[in-house]
Amino acid sequence: MAHSAGDGEGPHAGPDEDLRRLKADYDNYRRRVHRDRLAVREIAVSNVLGRLLPVLDAIDRARVAGEVVDGFGAVADLLETELGSLGLQSFGEPGDAFDPVLHLAVGYTRSTVVTEPICIEVVRTGYRVGDQLLRPAEVVVAEPPPGPV
């Protein structure tokens, strides 16, 4: 079958087809660059936020000790708000179902009041950015006693 110059096949494709291919290549390039820039941004934000976790831990310890008051309290609140606006999310609360993907068990006990493994104490808060886990929450877990064998 003979190909005409404008059907987009063969070495003699018409100028319109060449322009369409060039535009498609450029559109693909733009999408790829945009996707790569977003990925680099996410990695950079995650790296910076990960480096700030010890600061948040120090603020948490100061809160427990009752030392986060007045101006320091305002600074701590503002820091947490700004980090949240960058996508930082804390997690790990007493009563959460234990999830080995999100929680690191640093203590363990058996309890007759639970029906599944539950976090009963949070030793260190966990953090994530979007779907990326920065640090698991360190927790003490309560599990029901073993059933009859």
Region 20-46: mean pLDDT is: 92
Query: Identity (one letter) of the amino acid at 28?
Result: N
The answer to the question of residue 37 being in a domain is yes
pTM over 0.85, yes/no: no
Residue 131 confidence class, pLDDT cut points 50, 70, 90: confident
CATH of residue 133's domain is 2.30.22.10
Which helix (H) or strand (E) element contains residue 119?
Answer: strand 118-124
The pLDDT of residue 5 is above 70: no
- Domain end point (choices 86, 112, 134): 86
The pLDDT tens digits of the residues spanning 58-110 come to 999 999 999 988 999 999 999 999 999 999 999 999 999 999 999 999 999 99
- Domain-located, residue 144: yes
- Who wins on pLDDT, 138 or 7? 138
Query: Measuring CA to CA, which residue among 101, 77, 89 is closest to residue 129?
Result: 89
| Same domain membership, residue 92 and residue 56 | no
